[in-house]
Amino acid sequence: MKQIDGVQILRAVAVTQVAWTHSFQQFGQYGTAGLPTFGIVGIDIFFVISGFIISSIVLHSRQAPGPRCSGQFLKRRFIRIYPIYWIYAAVGLLRLVHNGSIYRANYIPAFFLVPWPKFAFIYGLTWTLMFELMFYFTVGILLLWTVRWAIPTVVTLFGILGLFGCIRPPTATFWILPTNPMLLEFVFGAILALLFRRFGRQRLIGIPFLILGIAGIVFLQYHQPPGAYSMAQILTGEHVGPRPFTWGVASALLVSGMVFWSPQIRSRLGLLAVVIGNASYSAYLASTPLLEFTYRGLAKLVPPRFPLGLPITLLYSCGITFAVLLVGWLSYQFLEWPLVRRLQRLTA
């Protein structure tokens, strides 16, 4: 499937927003209150994009259903997710050994991104990858029986499970992922893939959708509806129901607008954003250790709660966000993409 540069730009925006928000969360004690961060909307954008991209790949597939089709699909997904994650997870485990907290929880499931028997994370942000893998596994299993109806089936299945989670929030750990309302954001992306497959590029629809998505996100920033605003809430099923119908819908409009518009990117700034979008997964993984180490360094120089001042804090946050994007690009160029290409050749 041909890459849609506009979607890669949104991935760049999403990972930048995630790094920006987490930098302000860590440096909040130094006077960052009042600046807009847009919550964790970057995660909502990522989920919608993932639903769209994976569904589009399946919709463009010409393979017959069966073990070969399912196996090749899952192999590609695992190659994109696990190798670079394991590199960062190894660094995280060394950190846990160094500070003596390695024995406080069982991190073996986290190394394989498995949420059970209970949620334990080597890096906090990796909770999103558990949702991603659940989506991949579900699609992979469906490809054993059908290719044509795989995406409509996953839309129906995840739609039912997500709505059930809205009505009756999960309480047992086992059901938090399979019945989490956040699944509906993958459904939005999958429906977008079905519509784009049917109607193709529609610039007159795309631009208004894009404007509505931006307006919706700005509106929600200043008129926060009830809903989950942290990892802890999402992974306990607490107040998650409204999120896909607020931030999720706004993100779906944003992604839909960019997909239907499908602008031709020629400017240097636009092409740079596409490059960052390609490296967004590496940047996402790199953000947690970078933010943590930077904050520790700052805390040694300036005691927490010391009134550092908003301009200096803003400068720090901009610098850290830039560092996340730069390290993410270096990680993509010299670790992630070489690993992916080599493993794809070895397993072809």
- Positive or negative, the Cα torsion across 212, 213, 219, 225? positive
Average pLDDT, the chain: 90
| Residue 308: predicted pLDDT | 66
Separation CA 251–CA 248 (nearest Å): 5
| Residue 159: predicted pLDDT | 97
For residue 324, is it within any domain? yes
Separation CA 315–CA 319 (nearest Å): 6
Place of tokens 């795309």: 206
For residue 257, is it within any domain? yes
Taking alpha carbons only, the member of 187, 190, 192, 216 closest to residue 202 is 192
Taking alpha carbons only, the member of 233, 182, 162, 188 closest to residue 53 is 188
For residue 279, is it within any domain? yes
DSSP state letter for 28:
G
Tell me which residue range forms the domain holding 248.
5-335
- Could you tell me the pTM of the whole model? 0.94
Separation CA 139–CA 54 (nearest Å): 9
For residue 342, is it within any domain? no
Q: Where are the alpha helices (DSSP H) in 235-336?
A: 243-261, 268-278, 280-301, 310-331
* Amino acid (1-letter code) at residue 128: T
Separation CA 140–CA 23 (nearest Å): 36
| Residue 248: predicted pLDDT | 96
| Residue 1: predicted pLDDT | 65
Q: What is the total residue count of the chain?
A: 348
pLDDT < 70 regions, the chain: 1, 26-36, 117, 303-310
| Residue 21: predicted pLDDT | 85
| Residue 297: predicted pLDDT | 79
| Residue 37: predicted pLDDT | 73
For residue 341, is it within any domain? no
For residue 340, is it within any domain? no
| Residue 316: predicted pLDDT | 80
For residue 67, is it within any domain? yes
| Residue 168: predicted pLDDT | 86
| Residue 176: predicted pLDDT | 86
Domain count, the chain: 1
Render 314-348 in DSSP notation, one character per residue. Answer: HHHHHHHHHHHHHHHHHHIIIIIHHHHHHHHHHT-
For residue 139, is it within any domain? yes
Question: CB-based contacts of 97: which residues, under 8 Å, 6+ apart?
Answer: none
Task: Write the pLDDT tens digit of every residue in 110-140.
Answer: 999 988 767 788 988 899 999 999 999 999 9
Torsion angle of the four alpha carbons 110, 113, 116, 118, in this order, in degrees rounded to the nearest 10: 40
